[in-house]
Amino acid sequence: MRNKQPIYADTFAKHRRWGITGLAVAVVLIIVATVAYFALRNPRPSVHRYPVLGVQLTQSDGTQNFTSLHTQGVTFAYLKATQGSSYFDDNFNTNYSAGIASSVDVGVYHYFSFDSTPTAQADSFFKHVGSNTGTLPIGVYVTAYTELPSRERLSQNLQQFVNLLTQHYTGRRVVIMGSPTVLKLVQSVAKGAPRMVISTQHGDVGTHAFWEYTTGAPLPGGTGTRYTAIVYNGTRAGYRELLR
C-alpha cells in the first residue's frame, strides 16, 4: 500500500516553492532597480560648492535646444569646433548660433593633434571658426588618443599652438583641457592659463578652474539625455571674471 503524505506536508511544499519563486523575483527586481539607479542617477557635484554647471558638446550630441539646457541649470556650453588640421564639427555653426542667441554662455575648443603641426592646426581653427569664439576662454583639448609624444615635444608644440591663438585673437585667454596626467605633462605651457581637469575623482580637482566630472550622465531635472558635464571650481563671481 502506498504511503499517504499528510496534507500539511503538501501545503508546506507548495508554500516553499512559492517562497523561492518570490525570493527570486525580488532579487531580480533589486538588480533591475540598482542598474536603473546607476544608469539614471545624476552625479553632479555639490551645487553649493560648484554652483556653475556646464556641458561639453560634440557632433555626436546633435543640435541642441539651449533654452532647454538653461532651464536644466546649464550656465555654459563648450562646443567642439576643430580637430587636428582638417576636421570641422558638422554641428558647430548651428549650435553656436543657437547658443549665443540663448542665455547660455558659449565657449569653443580645439582637439589638439600630435599628427599635424601647430601652424596647420591653428590655420584650420582660424579658417573654420573665424570670430565665432564665444565668451569663454578658448579651449585646447589634449588627450592621449594615441601614444603621447615626449614631454618636451608635446609642451613645445602645444605652447606654439597657444601662442598662435593668443596672437590671432588679441586679448583672449585659453583654457587647457586634459586628464590629471596630461595636465601634469604640460604644466609649463601657458602657465597663467586656467585648466580643465577631466576626471571622475573629486581628489583630482585641486585648484583647476573647471572640472569635467562625467563623460555621460543626465543633468539635474533633465529627461535622461546624457551629456559630458562640467562644473566651474569656484563662485559665480569668479566664473564671471573669466568671461571676456
What is the per-residue pLDDT for 228?
98
Q: Name the band, by pLDDT with cuts 50, 70 and 90, for residue 244.
A: confident
Compute how many other C-beta atoms are within 10 angstroms of the C-beta atom of residue 60.
Answer: 10
Q: Return the amino acid letter for 178.
A: G
* Bridge partners of residue 56, in order along the sequence: 78, 228
CA pair distance 137, 134, nearest whole angstrom = 8
Predicted local distance difference test score (pLDDT) of residue 31: 39
Of 139 and 9, more confident: 139
pLDDT band at 26 (very low <50, low <70, confident <90, very high): very low
For residues 184, 185, 186 and 191, what is the CA-based torsion angle, rounded to 10 degrees? 40
- Give the helix ranges, DSSP H, for the chain: 7-40, 66-71, 92-100, 118-129, 151-168, 180-185, 236-242
Q: Extract the C-alpha cell encoding 106.
A: 558659449
What the block records as the C-alpha cell of 139 is 579651449
Determine phi and psi for 14, rounding to 5 degrees.
-65, -45
Predicted confidence at residue 128, as pLDDT, reads 99
pLDDT (0 to 100) of residue 34: 33
* Segment 63-96, tens digit of pLDDT: 999 999 999 999 999 999 999 999 999 999 999 9
pLDDT digits (tens, 9 = 90+) for 94-105: 999 999 999 999
Query: What's the pLDDT tens digit per position in 210-219?
Result: 999 999 999 9
Q: What is the pLDDT of residues 176-191, one digit of tens each?
A: 999 999 999 999 999 9
